[in-house]
């Protein structure tokens, strides 16, 4: 770990990209309304000592309100801290009452379990959004508990050992904190689940509620690029967003069984096939929706042919994942 001072602020960085606190806390985005004894209050306006109304009807005093402004454009692992937007009524009628935004590892209490927002993403009514800067707020209570945020039962945070992830914390500031929490399994106020039977049951309900329109047509095309390379383009989707199991977060286009250039079969594990390709696996190799065949493999070639081993149910309409054209 090393530290440097910029103005009056000490910045701490760590080797291998790890944050100083092994379990930095999940947070609410500025503007989120938290239920208190005086009514719903935007999180940034909460005052130390005031009573927050818990999901069980009891109250607990606010111990500390941490805040941190994150520049997502400069963040080395942007998606790790990109906020999750849960649209109004995405969970149930009036839950949330209006759009709710929180950090990806902030857990909601659903069916008696704390489930992080990232495990609920469906790409439509629950999705990661944001660009530029975002301000996160950490609500610390005497013990880990469940508060009410926009009408949704969401965890407060257990008392942290370090406040270095926040602009107003004591001690050096961690440059790129992880807004995740890894020990809730042992000392949380409810069982914690990121996958498995409970999460899949919740996701089935949320996916049915979202009524996502999909198509089995990958809309595959192969186009030549100005630099002589070719791109195998198709629709794409993230399995962990469109199925009951949230664990596979790869962006997948089509699974290719064979690639042939002018009657020559190209091994799918060819070292030149890197950009837009996932690792080879039994039965073929997945693209990410825009797989590049380098110009070096296409010298004077006339025909490119692929056979498809598998496709997905691709969201269409407002939830469709668009092909990312790579200009050269």
Range with lowest mean pLDDT among 42-56, 76-90, 156-170, 289-303: 156-170
Structure tokens at 52: 């927050």
Q: Per CATH, which fold does 2-210 belong to?
A: Endonuclease - Pi-scei; Chain A, domain 1 (2.170.16)
Range with lowest mean pLDDT among 59-73, 74-88, 180-194, 242-256: 180-194
307 compared with 70, residue with greater pLDDT: 307
CB-based contacts of 69, cutoff 8 Å, min separation 6:
133, 134, 135, 167
* pLDDT over 70 at 226, yes or no: yes
Q: Note if the pTM is more than 0.95.
A: no
Query: Do 246 and 199 touch, CB atoms closer than 8 A?
Result: yes
Report the C-alpha gap between 193 and 199 in whole angstroms: 7
84-112: average pLDDT: 97
Query: Do 157 and 179 touch, CB atoms closer than 8 A?
Result: no
Helix (H, G, I), strand (E, B) or coil at 51: strand
Task: Output b/e per residue, 8-30; b: 16+ Cβ within 10 A.
Answer: eeeebbeeeeebbbebbbbbbbb
268-281: average pLDDT: 98
Structure tokens at 120: 């609920």
Domain boundaries, the chain: 2-210, 214-319
Query: Do 69 and 165 touch, CB atoms closer than 8 A?
Result: no
Report the C-alpha gap between 181 and 105 in whole angstroms: 7
Report the C-alpha gap between 65 and 134 in whole angstroms: 16
pLDDT grade, residue 257 (50/70/90)?
Answer: very high
138-161: average pLDDT: 89
Report the C-alpha gap between 8 and 27 in whole angstroms: 25
pLDDT grade, residue 186 (50/70/90)?
Answer: low
208-215: average pLDDT: 96
Report the C-alpha gap between 28 and 244 in whole angstroms: 26
Report the C-alpha gap between 174 and 167 in whole angstroms: 9
In the sheet with 230-233, reading across from the earlier edge strand, the strands are 221-224, 230-233, 290-293
Structure tokens at 7: 């103005």
Report the C-alpha gap between 271 and 294 in whole angstroms: 11
* pLDDT over 50 at 5, yes or no: no
2-28: average pLDDT: 41
Report the C-alpha gap between 174 and 10 in whole angstroms: 9
Report DSSP letters for 264-286, one per residue: EEEPTT-TT--TTBPPPBTTBEE
What pLDDT sits at residue 236?
Answer: 98
158 compared with 126, residue with greater pLDDT: 126
pLDDT grade, residue 117 (50/70/90)?
Answer: very high
């Amino acid at each position: 770990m090393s530290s440097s001072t910029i103005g009056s602020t000490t910045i701490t960085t760590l080797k291998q990209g790890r944050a100083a606190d092994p379990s930095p806390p999940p947070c609410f985005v500025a503007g989120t309304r938290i239920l208190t004894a005086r009514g719903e209050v935007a999180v940034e306006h909460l005052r130390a000592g005031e009573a927050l109304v818990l999901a069980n009807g009891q109250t607990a005093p606010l111990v500390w309100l941490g805040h941190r402004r994150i520049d997502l454009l400069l963040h080395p692992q942007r998606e790790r801290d990109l906020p999750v937007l849960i649209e109004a009524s995405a969970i149930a009628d009036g839950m949330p009452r209006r759009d709710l935004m929180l950090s990806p590892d902030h857990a909601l209490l659903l069916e008696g379990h704390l489930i992080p927002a990232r495990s609920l993403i469906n790409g439509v009514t629950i999705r990661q959004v944001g660009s530029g800067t975002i301000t996160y707020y950490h609500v610390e209570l005497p013990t880990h508990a469940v508060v009410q945020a926009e009408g949704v039962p969401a965890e407060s945070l257990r008392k942290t050992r370090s406040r270095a992830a926040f602009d107003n914390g004591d001690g050096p500031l961690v440059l790129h904190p992880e807004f995740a929490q890894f020990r809730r399994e042992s000392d949380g106020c409810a069982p914690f689940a990121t996958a498995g039977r409970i999460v899949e049951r919740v996701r089935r309900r949320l996916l049915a509620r979202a009524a996502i329109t999909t198509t089995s047509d990958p809309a595959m095309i192969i186009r030549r690029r100005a630099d002589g390379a070719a791109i195998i383009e198709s629709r794409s989707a993230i399995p962990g967003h469109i199925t009951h199991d949230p664990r596979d977060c790869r962006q997948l286009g089509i699974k290719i069984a064979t690639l042939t250039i002018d009657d020559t079969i190209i091994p799918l594990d060819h070292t030149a096939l890197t950009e837009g390709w996932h690792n080879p696996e039994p039965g073929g190799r997945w693209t990410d929706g825009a797989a590049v065949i380098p110009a070096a493999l296409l010298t004077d070639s006339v025909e490119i042919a692929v056979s498809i081993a598998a496709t997905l149910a691709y969201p269409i309409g407002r939830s469709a994942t668009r092909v990312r054209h790579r200009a050269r």
